[in-house]
Amino acid sequence: MNEAAVGFQCPECVRSGRKETRSGRTTYGGARSADASRTSYVIIGVNVAVWLAVLLTGYTSSHLIDVLGLRGDGLCEVGGRYFSVGQQLCDTRNGVWLPGVSDGALWQLVTSAFLHVQIWHLVGNMLGFYIIGPFVEQAVGRARFLAICAVSGLAGSTAVLLLTNPYQLTLGASGIVFGLFGAVAVLLWRSGGDLRGILTLLAINVFITFAVPNVSWQGHLGGFAGGLLAAAAIVLAPRGERRALVQWSLLAGLLVVVLVVAGLRVVALA
């Protein structure tokens, strides 16, 4: 890959993309973004804003962490101790109720991807968006880029629900970042590009995932799989008038599958 103003460019993608420039469409049928970095900047801005809100409301003791972070089942906190009891019993003990997805806090499947507490966690994930996000949007267009992010984020959250302790709190945009890793790998493979750079970056991040304590490998795995499959749905759809219909049908199907799996897990936990 070649260095660009923001992130990297795949030479093969650039060459094939030139054919689509005059029509205002990307190689894979999406509307070409005038500024492929803008969406990533907005996502970064939202994440920074949420981090600032956490910082200003108590930082590590902020109630926002328990409201926005992903937890499969609710917990009751009483005097610094945690109990697996229902909300009504928690209230009678004058405890603080920490909601989970199985208690109806379905928003956590989405909001957890925008929540960070430690600055290194925020910077690392936002650096991923800054470097990789514009490349993916340039290749597929803004709408499809957002679709990849959505599938990756929800797939990561679903994997966390399935594979972690339901009382464990999970947060961060790492699932989406790993989804973008998967998308870049698919794009480079499809265009005949050099995969060594993205595979090296992926290997480094996999090492960090297992070497650093309290890192959610489940969210990373789910996000990577979601991004890889979403990108495959976009690049493997046959050319022609029905290309967009096929792409969006496949992406919608992926999203439905992820949500159904998440729903079944929520029902099992309830």
**Predicted TM-score of the model (pTM):** 0.88
Sketch the domain layout of the chain as residue ranges.
2-60+113-269
Q: What is the pLDDT of residue 6?
A: 40
Instruction: Give domain 2-60+113-269's CATH architecture.
Output: Up-down Bundle (1.20)
Angle at alpha carbon of residue 154, lines to 150 and 155, rounded to 5°: 110
Angle at alpha carbon of residue 225, lines to 248 and 49, rounded to 5°: 80
Q: What is the pLDDT of residue 23?
A: 62
pLDDT tens for each residue of 143-162: 999 999 999 999 999 999 99
Residue 174 annotated to the active site: yes
Residue 20 CA: distances (Å) to CA of 132, 195, 231? 21, 23, 19
Secondary structure of residue 39 in the 3-state scheme: helix
Residue pair 146/190 in contact (Cβ under 8 Å)? The answer is no
What is the SS3 assignment for 78-110?
Answer: ECCEEECCCHHHHHHCCCEEECCHHHCCCCHHH
Q: What is the pLDDT of residue 93?
A: 84
- Indicate which residue of 40, 174, 191, 216 is catalytic: 174
Alpha-carbon distance of 201 to 198, in angstroms, equals 5
Q: What is the pLDDT of residue 21?
A: 47
Alpha-carbon distance of 238 to 44, in angstroms, equals 33
Residue 194 CA: distances (Å) to CA of 125, 139, 191? 24, 16, 9
Residue 220 annotated to the active site: yes
Dig out the tokens for 159 from the structure. Answer: 């994997």
- Indicate which residue of 112, 116, 157, 220 is catalytic: 220
Alpha-carbon distance of 150 to 251, in angstroms, equals 10
Residue spans of the chain under pLDDT 70: 1-23
